[in-house]
Amino acid sequence: MRVSKCWPIVILLTGLGSCIDPFTPDISESKDLLVVSGNISDQPGEHFLSVSRSAPFNSPKFLPVTGCVVRVEDEEGKGFTYTEKKAGEYSVLLNKPFLGLKKSYKLLIYTPDGEEYQSDFDPMLPCPPIEKLYFESETQATEDPDISIQGIRFYIDVKGEENESGSFLWKLEQTYKYHAIYSIQYFWDDVTLTEYDPPIDSLHWCYLTGPINELYTASSKYLVANELQHYPLTFVSANTPRLLYRYSLLVSQYSLSEEAYIYWEKAKSKLSETGGLYETQPASSSGNIHNVHDENEQVLGFFYASQVTETRINLKNDFDFSIQNYTCRLDTITNLREQLGGNNLVYMISLNEDGSGPPYGMSDPGCFDCTARGGTTTIPDFWKEND
């Protein structure tokens, strides 16, 4: 059974180089703020949380806080203590009796330097199901009026009852099928050239699963009914091979309290704001976690409780637009020892007109071994190939 996970918001900072002196903005920032990222859901099993320190603006990285005692409690004081799995990353196994709708939960953190932190209580509100998950073809304009980007946009419809939460956070996980461009005909280990006849195809097809690092929130608070229609989610471009064969999207919908919704709305706004060359970091938003002994200390992050509902959509390529595959450039190899000296993991194909022997063609490992692009040859349990 799937459980809640901590999905960090990723900010990409682009370094610019030129023949003039670089511009470094004068940014006033606080140092070494505690950063807490995590939540619990109604799904029994393992739940995750991270404790770290804020990094300098111009050097973003994860700075773990190790050796903390971390505990989650309900209003009656019943609770469970987390275990540190690796530096700064903590997990806890929560059972079904502890996880209840309309119960409230808080987080307690005791750091090795003697500081004590607590979150406000956050209620676990009922979450309505996703009524419909679907997609539509979309063409996006670019800065060049002669160039546009084709792809698909996913949408959801939600219809809830009055007693169910009307504020939501959505987390998305995609899986797609892809293949290496070439089968492995030759393997060079810096000593021996091994020929495979027929070429190896066991590393040809892969499945890649991972989160979509985009933030989606919405609320029906000011609407007539607790309903959301045609709410837009992620856009999948045809300029990548994700849609080339089959694609699967899992949407997890989290119920939010009003306080949690306000926090994530601010985070989403800051993620989309642009300040010249740089974007404002969502981590600068204070949440519901406080130093018990120092009310003036700023702590980043929001601990929240949610019921989760999920739905998945599977689709295949029968779109009316072309989809770009990986491109691989072959380098011609005529003398193995001179051109490949020191390289002991080289896949190749023959470029000979007869289909065997030199000259050979080599390229990036991912052009021959699909797992080198991050995927796995194991077919996911939920995968549907023939429908």
- Output the pLDDT for position 204: 94
Query: How many other CB atoms sit within 10 Å of the CB of residue 137?
Result: 12
**For 307, what's the count of Cα atoms within 13 Å in the CB-facing half-sphere?**
17
Positions in the chain short of pLDDT 50:
1-28, 274-283
- Output the pLDDT for position 272: 63
Tens of pLDDT, residue by residue over 332-379, are: 999 888 888 777 789 999 999 999 999 999 999 999 999 999 999 999
**For 347, what's the count of Cα atoms within 13 Å in the CB-facing half-sphere?**
22
- Output the pLDDT for position 58: 67
pTM: 0.84
The rounded Cα 89 to chain-centroid distance in angstroms is: 17
One-letter amino acid for residue 229 of the chain? Q
Decide if 360 contacts 349 (C-beta within 8 A): yes
My answer on whether omega of the bond before 199 falls inside 30° of 0, hence cis, is no
Give me the phi and psi of 11, to 5 degrees please. Answer: -110, 125
d(CA 110, CA 294) in angstroms, rounded, equals 14
- Output the pLDDT for position 387: 67
Closest CA to 262 of 289, 286, 241: 286
Task: Write the burial class of residue 272 (CB in 10 Å: 0-12 exposed, 13-18 middle, 19+ buried).
Answer: exposed
- Output the pLDDT for position 31: 64
- Output the pLDDT for position 285: 60
d(CA 285, CA 217) in angstroms, rounded, equals 16
- Output the pLDDT for position 145: 87
Distance in angstroms between the alpha carbons of the first and the last residue of the chain = 24
